[in-house]
Amino acid sequence: MDATTPCETQSVEIDHMMLHLECAVWWSPADSAYVAVDLHHAPFIHSDPRSAQAAIDGLESAVRAHLLSASRRAA
């Protein structure tokens, strides 16, 4: 018997989608920050002055939040 809840299933699906996230990161002198952009979802951009990894982490959080919100609306 499968005891997986719909919420757990959505979480696993989102985690799987996140594995395929492709992004680019660069230093922006104008922003004095690293900028990360999702190459497949144009509106997702995150900048962070601390490091490229911090910019990627912020980008991943934004994409994850969007996917979770979209999956809740679809349910």
Gap between the Cα atoms of 57 and 46, Å rounded: 9
N-term to C-term CA, the chain: 23
Q: Give Cα separations from 73 to 10, 45, 66 (angstroms).
A: 12, 23, 11
Q: Whole domain around residue 56: which residue ranges?
A: 6-74
What are 7-58's pLDDT values in tens digits?
666 777 877 777 778 899 999 999 999 999 998 876 889 999 999 999 999 9
Number of domains in the chain: 1
**Is 58 inside a domain boundary?**
yes
Q: Give Cα separations from 23 to 2, 3, 8 (angstroms).
A: 35, 35, 26
**Is 17 inside a domain boundary?**
yes
Q: What pLDDT sits at residue 31?
A: 95
